[in-house]
Structure 1
């Protein structure tokens, strides 16, 4: 018996809406199916003893392979710890859609998204509309994982906001948090034994999550309801919930910048600790005061994806010739490791060309060891 079957299935709250018609039709044949998982550290596999074997993501892929054939299921791990749906929308093209045809995309940001309703909608709606525009054959399913703040009787933020987006676009959802809450109320488990830090499930917790999703997929892939219409799911006819959502979000290479001056290609210092990033870490670096670069994007907003750590300094930016605005990205996490940090500049009212100048101030947080600036990517929407 496979590992994913060690426990019995337990019930989560499953909302079918328009279901998973594309992947269901494809699984009825013999073609290969690609399943991608876009989310934060819980999707990546944090807390599991072996992220690619015992996480809910890995156990879900195992279930699909056992059910439909090992050679037919390709699994893409696009989980990145500490990231929310705003960065998820910017990562979608490079970390998911660039790998080829995606048949099913699970989206999990219910723990990392905050209490800002508008920004949460921009991120989740941006992921949906970007997928519908660039990959209309991709089915989506929202996943809601547990944390101390959302194991409640009343549906909490940001799950309630994610459900607004899911309802608007007919996207099915599987609420792990609601399932865990029921188990807690029934005295079946203690949250502290499933997720000792309050967020990241251990192997037992990941196994329960996988059981929830297994039950959801059994429903979603077996239903014959008439409302599961392929042509409707391909449509982007719905008006957006939020103007300025991240449907055109992207990560761009630094090479598109101009006047880069003292920003040179670097790797992280030898012996550095890296967290929340499994992708390439080659970046552009400068610690020279007033070192600057310029880049232009077409859209409503721009930004930066930085590698921040013990030597991170203070930067400033100017949009379309405006005054420089100072940003200090150093925080308590920088003390011990480097990690990706996204800086999003203010959105403009209408889409158009945006010229952005970024400059190193030569200043630093009092806790920082240096004034460095490490740029992984340029961001655009």
Structure 2
């Protein structure tokens, strides 16, 4: 028995568990469908649809196109949609954004799209995706959920072999456990590739003789690419209409993963002990556009300043800003270990919202101290040369902290 259990555990973490057999991929796994959503759309009562995902969701693409299609199908139903797409982020941040960006609007349907950004970390994906599902269902058991699997160029070969990539496989385990529908948006793209009617990664200005160009960067669909995604969703929804609410699970099943992120907290850094040198970023014109998401964003240029967080739990992370003036953090864990987090990268010529997590900690009490690393950073050597611009903007070195995320709760 022990050997069988060990094999199952190893199989999961080596990517065998949940692997779809080679063959033709299926665009829709309807499972228990979206019965509550369809009932409410047909009733004529107001409906809220939230789109949680990355930049593909945030774009004016399938999200806007499906919203228009829903309005055409149900013209008497007042429909509100929520754009909860944040570029370059996966389910690990999505589960912490969920309460503020989605659930406070009391959605009737939540699309979840993180397949491209989620990578291959099985436990991280599983804990985050299950946390998203459980938080939604704990908020309202009748909110329906639909997983969407978008694709990027590196995924094509494996998908063409009939095998789901890691992020899809791990998400499918969650979807199957909770009876949630999932739509693989890559199936129709691959079908057109096979028919030689589509170019997946095109070059602007090139004539492809009437073929559809799906994307110009290997990731983000153009208008025509988004229309393919929309058509796949439309066909899936037409198929799911026939499922009824009586088949849906009314009781939330036991979790698959004991460490799932169903109990998360997001806090202002001002709520924690910090020295007096920290400043508000509210008066920095270059940061102004990010203050809606990070209203209490603060920064310091003094390595002696510190932010100290005591909490009971297992996971802690920071939402921040990366840009020309960002630097590196020195983070001391329980007074024993100090790690460095570089908060600057090759795209550091422009400001953008970002985040990071510390490695998982043993569940219990912890004290985390954040400081600015005084070590110099040769930013002009890191930035992509074509994006460099005026080098003077890289001279400041600030540690930015906008929100604190944790699985657990702050200590008194």
Q: Shorter-chain-normalised TM-score: which range?
A: 0.7 to 0.9
For the residues of structure 2 that align with 1:273 and 1:294, how far apart are their CA atoms? Answer: 26
For the residues of structure 2 that align with 1:282 and 1:224, how far apart are their CA atoms? Answer: 45
Instruction: State whether residues 150 and 177 of structure 1, in contact with CA within 8 Å, keep that contact through their aligned partners in structure 2.
Output: no
1:294 aligns with 2:308: yes
Q: Could you give the per-residue CA deviations for residues 236-281 of structure 1, whole angstroms, max 9, x where no partner exists? A: 22232x3322222232222211124211111374357979x97356
Instruction: State whether residues 281 and 298 of structure 2, in contact with CA within 8 Å, keep that contact through their aligned partners in structure 1.
Output: yes
Equivalent in the alignment of 1:165: 174
Q: Secondary structure at the match of 1:300?
A: strand
Q: Secondary structure at the match of 2:197?
A: coil
For the residues of structure 2 that align with 1:369 and 1:57, how far apart are their CA atoms? Answer: 40
Equivalent in the alignment of 1:378: 404
1:238 aligns with 2:254: yes
For the residues of structure 2 that align with 1:224 and 1:71, how far apart are their CA atoms? Answer: 19
Equivalent in the alignment of 1:250: 265
Instruction: State whether residues 268 and 281 of structure 1, in contact with CA within 8 Å, keep that contact through their aligned partners in structure 2.
Output: no
Task: Please identify, of 206-215 and 316-325, the stretch whose mean Cα deviation from structure 2 is larger.
Answer: 316-325
Q: What pairs up with 1:47-86 in 2 under 5 angstroms?
A: 51=60, 55-69=61-75, 72-86=78-92
Q: Could you give the per-residue CA deviations for residues 109-164 of structure 1, whole angstroms, max 9, x where no partner exists? A: 01001111111112211111221222322111000112102222222222122112
Equivalent in the alignment of 1:307: 321
The number of residues matched between the two structures is 354
Q: Secondary structure at the match of 2:83?
A: strand
For the residues of structure 2 that align with 1:187 and 1:31, how far apart are their CA atoms? Answer: 44
Equivalent in the alignment of 2:377: 365
Q: What pairs up with 1:279-290 in 2 under 5 angstroms?
A: 279-280=293-294, 283-290=297-304
TM-score, L = length of structure 2 = 0.80
Equivalent in the alignment of 1:267: 282
Runs of 4+ in 1 over 6 A off after TM superposition: 272-275
1:40 aligns with 2:54: yes
For the residues of structure 1 that align with 2:339 and 2:152, how far apart are their CA atoms? Answer: 35
Task: Please identify, of 141-150 and 250-259, the stretch whose mean Cα deviation from structure 2 is larger.
Answer: 250-259
Equivalent in the alignment of 2:30: 16
* CA deviation after TM superposition for structure 1 residue 185, in Å: 0.7
Q: Secondary structure at the match of 1:337?
A: coil
For the residues of structure 1 that align with 2:139 and 2:145, how far apart are their CA atoms? Answer: 13
Equivalent in the alignment of 2:142: 137
* CA deviation after TM superposition for structure 1 residue 219, in Å: 1.4
Give me the CA root mean square deviation.
2.3
Compare relative contact order (CA 8 Å, sep 6+) and give the higher one, 1 or 2: 1
Instruction: State whether residues 322 and 344 of structure 2, in contact with CA within 8 Å, keep that contact through their aligned partners in structure 1.
Output: yes
For the residues of structure 1 that align with 2:295 and 2:87, how far apart are their CA atoms? Answer: 15
* CA deviation after TM superposition for structure 1 residue 222, in Å: 2.8
Q: Secondary structure at the match of 1:184?
A: helix
For the residues of structure 2 that align with 1:287 and 1:253, how far apart are their CA atoms? Answer: 19
Change (3 A) 1:271 1:93: closer
* CA deviation after TM superposition for structure 1 residue 354, in Å: 3.4
Equivalent in the alignment of 1:3: none
For the residues of structure 2 that align with 1:206 and 1:162, how far apart are their CA atoms? Answer: 22
Aligned partner (choices 358, 366, 370) of residue 345 of structure 1: 358
Equivalent in the alignment of 1:7: none
For the residues of structure 1 that align with 2:325 and 2:150, how far apart are their CA atoms? Answer: 34
Aligned partner (choices 83, 95, 103) of residue 101 of structure 2: 95
Q: Could you give the per-residue CA deviations for residues 27-49 of structure 1, whole angstroms, max 9, x where no partner exists? A: 2322111100000000001xxxx
Change (3 A) 1:20 1:364: farther
For the residues of structure 2 that align with 1:365 and 1:79, how far apart are their CA atoms? Answer: 31
1:201 aligns with 2:221: yes
Q: Could you give the per-residue CA deviations for residues 196-239 of structure 1, whole angstroms, max 9, x where no partner exists? A: 1011111111111111111111112233496x22xx1x422223
* CA deviation after TM superposition for structure 1 residue 319, in Å: 2.9
Change (3 A) 1:274 1:181: farther
Q: Please tell me whether Structure 1 or Structure 2 has the larger radius of gyration of its CA atoms.
A: 2
For the residues of structure 2 that align with 1:110 and 1:224, how far apart are their CA atoms? Answer: 28
1:322 aligns with 2:313: no
